[in-house]
Structure 1
Amino acid sequence: MRWSDVEVTVPRPHLRLAGVRMAGFSQHAPGFWDVAMIAHPSVSLLVDLSDGAGAVYETAGAVQRGSVAAGLLPGPVRATGWARVECLQIRLSPVAAAALLGPAADLTGQVVPLGEVWRRAEGRLRAAGSWDERFTVATGLLSERWRTDPEVAHVWARTVASRGRPRVDDLAGEVGWSRKRLWSRFRAQLGITPKHAARLVRFDHAAHLLAVGRPPAEVAAASGYADQSHLHRETREFTTLTPAAVAAAPWLAIDRTAWPGGPPR
């Protein structure tokens, strides 16, 4: 599959929710597709609306078919299929995911089938006459207000806004918590520690710089890594790939169209 054969549609502004990003992907002609997904700092719902057998998601030791939820840090994930692709992808900030799906810790490191609510919604999404209608249906399912600690939400938003740069002690001080309390509450609700969240956000920024052709040494300096070797180690840990391979990953090629502005906060 070539990304030039894929049409990307995003919601109109009035359908956008805090902590939520949505995009619709439509392949113009049926054919085989094989995409390596790159780690990013959000929880993804992938609602498969394709014809035929649908998508297959392969990750370490597990295979899932159809519509799935991918938590933070599921490891290398490869999506394959043979059909005309129609997929609604919803990216949730970990704060939104914790409130809408339950503690994000329950999804961390996993790719699992979507829950019953979304399986029932698939019929409505398939029957919709346009992506605008599909986004309206999805927004209706997501629009109830969620509850998480405002302190946790603040720390996540600061981590994204600063591209993973702030010190955990400084963030704890901003919300009036001890480092230990922030560490405990953040991990319980979002599934990863504040330090690991900062690493993931920083890597996401670096990956997108690599994807637009910036050299690894320059990316390392711009993203806050100690040196190019540090960037190489982090890239290997998050993706098993080299920085050069991440730069060529097709999954990143459409991010500026589908996910402008970076990760959801």
Structure 2
Amino acid sequence: MPPVEPVRDAAAVWDIAVPARPSRVAGVSMAAFRGRTKSLVEMQVIPYPALTLFIDFGDGLLVDDTSGQGARGAIVAGLSLGGVRGSGRDIDCLQVRLSPVVAHAMLGASAELGGAVVDLEELWGHDAVRIRERLNATRSPVDRFAIVEAALARRHETGTAIDPEVVYCWERMTSSRGRIRVEQLAEEVGWSRKRLWTRFRSQIGLTPKTAAKLIRFDHAAHRLVAGHSAAAVAADSGYADQSHLHRDVVAFAGVTPTAVAVAPWLAVDEVAWTGAGQARPNRRSWR
């Protein structure tokens, strides 16, 4: 078996570029990755509270953990429990994170993406083919960012927006880091618990309870990576105890809190997504 390159030092393995400014479409963030090694790279993507569009220009492979089926090219990963594995050589890809509140309009799908990896062509048809042809015609991340942003903006303008009540609930969940009860949200928007559950599930792709747990997990995972103890993270993040944190981490990431604390993809996450649109000393870019 070819050697597997450790990816803990993200800056040593990847050249990473980000747009010079935030996207003009709220809820969209992008980063471009180009491998700096010829060795086989394998990594597990830790679940994140956003849908993720991967557009691969090299020899990458993305696998949906829930089904084990591989996919190449341009794929969308839903709000998946268990995450997504990636592997390949000479990786050159663009990653786009879409907030669930805009993904519904941009992708034309939501519930069916709750835990799946789907080819973008299944959602966009021939438009996906045309966009990939344009993206493949340039190696500049700046041009690729512009092409994808324009396509997403068009989709956002013509797509079906989700209920403002669902947007409100999602924003309340994120601002509270997942520490809010569904009953309270239903009361705040004037819906029954059943109606909120149904509308939220159909438009976001997860139930309100699971979405809140995912947001809370994401906050806890980044706290673990920052070096905080599992006991402190459990107490600060709203878990009943350390065992409760352990169960949630295993449910979402498939590994223990100790493993999450040194997760390679979270190291990449720190380089690519923190302070998006702002220069960082360990972020590399190319033209």
TM-score between the two structures when normalised by the length of structure 2:
0.85
Cα-to-partner distance string for 1:82-111 (whole Å, 9 max, x where unaligned): 2x1111111111121111112310111111
- Pairwise mapping of residues 163-174 of structure 1 onto structure 2 (< 5 A)? 163-174=177-188
Partners of 1:8 and 1:26 within 8 A in 2: yes
Cα-to-partner distance string for 1:165-220 (whole Å, 9 max, x where unaligned): 12212212222222221111101111111111100000000001111111100010
Assess, with a 3 A threshold, how the Cα gap between structure 1 residues 123 and 31 changes in structure 2: closer, same or farther: farther
CA-based RMSD: 1.8
Partners of 1:103 and 1:188 within 8 A in 2: no
Partners of 1:25 and 1:85 within 8 A in 2: yes
- 1:122 aligns to 2:136 (yes or no): no
What runs of 5+ residues in structure 1 fail to find an aligned partner? none
Partners of 1:64 and 1:112 within 8 A in 2: no
Given candidates 36, 48, 61, the residue that maps to 2:67 is 61
Structure 2 match to 1:81: 88
Structure 2 match to 1:70: 77
Structure 1 match to 2:57: 49
Given candidates 168, 171, 182, the residue that maps to 1:157 is 171
Q: Which amino acid aligns with 1:213?
A: G
Q: How far off is 1:23 after superposition?
A: 0.8
The CA distance in 2 between the partners of 1:111 and 1:129, in whole Å, is 25
- 1:90 aligns to 2:86 (yes or no): no
Partners of 1:103 and 1:190 within 8 A in 2: no
Assess, with a 3 A threshold, how the Cα gap between structure 1 residues 261 and 169 changes in structure 2: closer, same or farther: farther
Assess, with a 3 A threshold, how the Cα gap between structure 1 residues 170 and 255 changes in structure 2: closer, same or farther: same
Structure 2 match to 1:248: 262
The CA distance in 1 between the partners of 2:139 and 2:256, in whole Å, is 42
The CA distance in 2 between the partners of 1:100 and 1:139, in whole Å, is 11
Structure 1 match to 2:235: 221
The CA distance in 1 between the partners of 2:191 and 2:62, in whole Å, is 43
Assess, with a 3 A threshold, how the Cα gap between structure 1 residues 175 and 162 changes in structure 2: closer, same or farther: same
Q: Which amino acid aligns with 1:155?
A: C
The CA distance in 2 between the partners of 1:90 and 1:56, in whole Å, is 14
Cα-to-partner distance string for 1:208-252 (whole Å, 9 max, x where unaligned): 111111110001011110110100011111122110011111000
TM-score between the two structures when normalised by the length of structure 1:
0.91
Cα-to-partner distance string for 1:48-85 (whole Å, 9 max, x where unaligned): 011xx432425233322312111112434221112x11
The CA distance in 2 between the partners of 1:63 and 1:154, in whole Å, is 35
Partners of 1:206 and 1:219 within 8 A in 2: yes
* Structure 1 segments (4+ residues) deviating >4 Å: none
The CA distance in 2 between the partners of 1:30 and 1:181, in whole Å, is 51
- Secondary structure of the residue that 1:54 maps to in structure 2? strand
Structure 2 match to 1:27: 35
> How many residues get paired?
259
